[in-house]
Structure 1
Amino acid sequence: MNTLNKALAGKLDSLRDVIRGYEKPCIAFSGGVDSTLLLRVAVETRGAAAVPMTVNGSMMPRSEFGDAKALAQSMGASLCVLDVDVFSVPEFVENGSQRCYYCKKNIFTQIKGHAQELGCDVIFDGSNLDDLDDYRPGLLALEEMMVVSPFIKAGLTKQDIRGLSAFYGLPTADKPAMACLATRIPGGEPITRKKLLMVEQGEECLKVLGLRQYRLRYIGSMAKIECAEEDFELLMDRRQELVSNLKAIGFKTVTLDLSGYQCGSMNEVKK
């Protein structure tokens, strides 16, 4: 392990103290940067009593689900998998401004029920201080469900989480930000399984090209690509291949957003 500066070491101690306050925590686990560190510290602190739980549904890319299973196994944790059908939630399908709230409420209701059956005394999620500055209606659902966010309690930002992930040697330390596939569809436009699948397949095309931070926004029949500016040249060099592959998926038009990748760019539509 690398060494930590005093400030980050203090936050890690605070994080451990939060986790020690519970006997058998259930960790809402996606395999992303945040939940992977949370699981690592929970296993370190609570051992086999730490229970990672992930949901398998249309809003999660298959590759991410596979990575989550492998990560949990690498940490010696026994992963619980819940199959969820987000399309059973009308508000999710309608894709209104509170979609995330209703989706989170549905998912965490199921997580909570299963966690209680396993004897867990708390549910942890990986929200951090930076999330409080973003448009995240799902946070209200977590609060109502009495889900505990250890990173927020310990005062950790996303940068802190990446720093601690590097300290532990986690493969997710520099993993690009990932979000629910539904965030690629403009607010007010109904969500369908086909649309989510098209987005998932389209983003896989971007990943194969070698891009790391990107989003493929579903705008009607158009695929709008957001990526880091340094990847623009790569896209231009491979544009014919990319356009051909995206059209084969079902998109009619392919565009590149010259503003580059913007986290939560769809939020402007939803507010």
Structure 2
Amino acid sequence: MVTEKLEQLKALLAGMERALIAYSGGIDSTLVAKVAYDVLSDRALAVTAVSPSLLPEDLEDACVQAAEIGIAHELVETHELENPNYAANPVNRCYFCKSELHDRLKPLALERGYPYVVDGVNADDLTDYRPGIQAAKERGARSPLAEVGITKAEVREMAKLLDLSCWDKPAQPCLSSRFPYGEAITIAKLQRVGRAEAYLRRMGLKTYRVRSEGDTARIELPPEKIQEFVLTTDLPALVRAFQSFGFLYIALDLEGFSSGKLNRMLPSATPQVIQNQQSTAGLASG
């Protein structure tokens, strides 16, 4: 089944003839970039948006992975934080982020002669609240993974099959996702969270989040890793480090890591929003 979908993905991208990939360096967009390069060669271009919401370490990873693939890779600056609709961090914050991104990518694609801008949205993304999908579609972007019906698990299977070094890379959404809706986002707050997560990364952790709520940093780890973390970590040193980054209080979430946890506060209308999102994306069955 996975090999069949991979062939469908190749055929879809080959049919585009030329494509610009909105490439974040995450596993989804990396798979799209890899397959696009395999079938289009120098007629594929990967473009990464650089802003304060992107960790420098993630940008470095994106550059390394693009070089491993061999695809042409460029960087563009985005300025979503200058939009008060984004900085206020409403529940549809991602709509304004993707609007800024695709308002920059679409003119670039047209200027360079790429008829398509494609992203890494997969089939599972359509089952969560992702207002950024709407913004991308309004600007004509395509989502090959979702169109073929490729799930996150299948993305990883395909990436491993294609020998991508990042096949088991944990999901790493932008730093703005670390704040509860309604709490204003600033560059200083993003940098504070970024430094905290870089600290955990240097400790050797792979899956984690530092949620920022006011002056509190709440660390999320996989539930099975919590006890080991408490027993083996120099907690006073961690507290001092996080306080030096600007946090006053440091907590450990005893429930553990859960992707999209902040979406629990969303209103009951969200299922209808997701249904509209799925319809807009045109997810193929099978």
Separation in structure 1 between the aligned mates of residue 102 and residue 119 of structure 2, nearest angstrom: 10
Residue of structure 2 equivalent to 1:3: none
AA in 2 matched with 1:260: G
Residue of structure 1 equivalent to 2:244: 248
Residue of structure 1 equivalent to 2:125: 131
Residue of structure 2 equivalent to 1:69: 63
TM-score between the two structures when normalised by the length of structure 2: 0.90
Kept in 1, the 8 Å contact 2:94–2:130? The answer is yes
| Secondary structure of the structure 2 residue equivalent to 1:30 | coil
AA in 2 matched with 1:235: F
In the TM superposition, what whole-angstrom CA distance separates every residue of 1:18-59 from its partner, at most 9, and x where no partner exists?
101211100000111101111110011101100101111011
- Aligned to 1:162, which of 148, 156, 160? 156
Separation in structure 2 between the aligned mates of residue 45 and residue 86 of structure 1, nearest angstrom: 33
| Secondary structure of the structure 1 residue equivalent to 2:72 | coil
Residue of structure 2 equivalent to 1:172: 166
Residue of structure 2 equivalent to 1:4: none
Residue of structure 2 equivalent to 1:268: 264
AA in 2 matched with 1:34: D
Distance apart, 1:270 and its partner CA = 4.4
Separation in structure 2 between the aligned mates of residue 235 and residue 245 of structure 1, nearest angstrom: 16
Distance apart, 1:230 and its partner CA = 2.6
Residue of structure 1 equivalent to 2:207: 213
AA in 1 matched with 2:18: K
In the alignment, structure 1 segments of 5+ residues that lack a partner are 1-6
Percent identity for Structure 1 against Structure 2:
34
| Secondary structure of the structure 1 residue equivalent to 2:168 | coil
| Secondary structure of the structure 2 residue equivalent to 1:126 | coil
- Is residue 51 from structure 1 mapped to residue 61 from structure 2 by the alignment? no
In the TM superposition, what whole-angstrom CA distance separates every residue of 1:196-248 from its partner, at most 9, and x where no partner exists?
00010001111112211111000110000111123213431312221111011
In the alignment, structure 2 segments of 5+ residues that lack a partner are 268-286
- CA RMSD in angstroms comes to 1.0
Residue of structure 2 equivalent to 1:259: 255
Moved more, 72-81 or 189-198: 72-81
Residue of structure 2 equivalent to 1:28: 22
In the TM superposition, what whole-angstrom CA distance separates every residue of 1:77-115 from its partner, at most 9, and x where no partner exists?
121110112222111111111111011111111011111
Query: How many residues in Structure 1 have an aligned counterpart in Structure 2?
Result: 265
